[in-house]
Amino acid sequence: MKPVPDAVVLVTGASSGIGLATAVAAARAGFTAVAGVRDPAGATALRETGIDVRKLDVTDAASVAACVEGVVATHGRLDALVNNAGVASAAFTLELSSIDAVRASLEVNFFGVLTMTRAALPHLRAARGRLITVGSVRGVIGQPFNEAYSAAKFAVEGYLEGLAPTLAQLGVAVSVVEPAAVLDTSFVASSPLDPAALLAGAGPYEAAFRAYRGFVAGGAVEGAQTAAEVAAVILAALADPAPPFRIPTSAYAAAYLARKLSDVDGGGVQDLTRSWLT
């Protein structure tokens, strides 16, 4: 996809972090960038850059429909959707969490992606455009004490890996961008979890949780990137004439995925599943 003003890119969760960096980078590259945010009144920085800011809650079907249809009404088309909105693990080890907390994670991290994608697809097909979704290395390797988050991101991977060969036949490229840690975002600060309270109620999992907290504090930021670095990978995927299905955002993320996958970019699976459709 060429970065020209008549190519319209909608980024969800663009109020902060990777989404904000992606919307700004897309606008600077020459796309018409549309930023979906839950609170447009707080999006002054985006507005100052001339980006079209739209109200969007990905868990609200009416909000999703109004945003997507509004973008097409204003700009005449939608060439790319960047599903970026996401929330940190809303649940501790799931045995000790409420099912409602788990559902809340899946509402944003999986059903939000699904709802946005369904609304955008008619327009992406018309444009022979792009569907790019921010997954996570935790959507390939399950992370202790992040079970709900990993479950949601695994669901995203499965959904999009299944959809990709079908959409490829219709000219829409599907990619999942997979960062490891990204530190300069609101991701951890926005998490509803209180580690001290969790530790107090951890019961048989206390020792494991203490060790995990130590691991996170001591080394889990290895290979960390900035939001701008991840945004640059998303922009490269938008411009790539044939982007891979799975796009680790760094050499560190690629090596992490390779611990589990022999088909890191998903090309082998896409070759196989595309062959079933011809």
Binding residue for ligand NAP, selected from 7, 34, 53, 57, defined by CB under 6 A: 57
* Interface size with ligand NAP, residues (CB under 6 A): 30
Q: Which neighbouring-strand residues pair with 111?
A: none
176 binds ligand NAP (CB under 6 A): no
9 or 56: CB nearest ligand NAP? 56
123 or 138: CB nearest ligand NAP: 138
Given 9, 24, 43, 58, the residue binding ligand NAP (CB under 6 A): 58
Does the protein bind ligand NAP through residue 147 (CB under 6 A)? no
**Using CB under 6 A, which residues numbered 197 to 256 contact ligand NAP?**
227
Q: Whose CA is closest to 149, among 92, 222, 100?
A: 92
* In the complex, least distance from residue 181 CB atom to ligand NAP, rounded to whole angstroms: 5
Select 112 or 266, whichever has its Cβ closest to ligand NAP.
112
Binding of ligand NAP at residue 65 (CB under 6 A)?
no
CB within 8 A of 124, min separation 6: which ones?
A: 78, 79, 80, 81, 130, 131, 167, 172
Active site residue 159: no
Residue of 104, 114, 186, 273 interacting with ligand NAP (CB under 6 A): 186
- As measured in angstroms, the least distance from the Cβ of 6 to ligand NAP is 26
Per-residue b or e along 192-210, where b marks 16 or more CB atoms closer than 10 Å to that residue's CB: ebeeeebeeebeebeeebe
Pick the closer one to ligand NAP by CB: 179 or 266: 179
Site string for ligand NAP, 68-107 (x = CB under 6 A): ----------------xxxx--------------------
For ligand NAP, which residue of 7, 34, 91, 108 counts as binding (CB under 6 A)? 108
Establish if 181 lies at the interface with ligand NAP (CB under 6 A): yes
Residue 187 as a binder of ligand NAP (CB under 6 A): the answer is yes
Active site residues: 149
Binding site residues, ligand NAP, CB under 6 A? 12-19, 38-39, 56-59, 84-87, 108, 112, 134, 136, 179, 181-182, 185-187, 190, 227
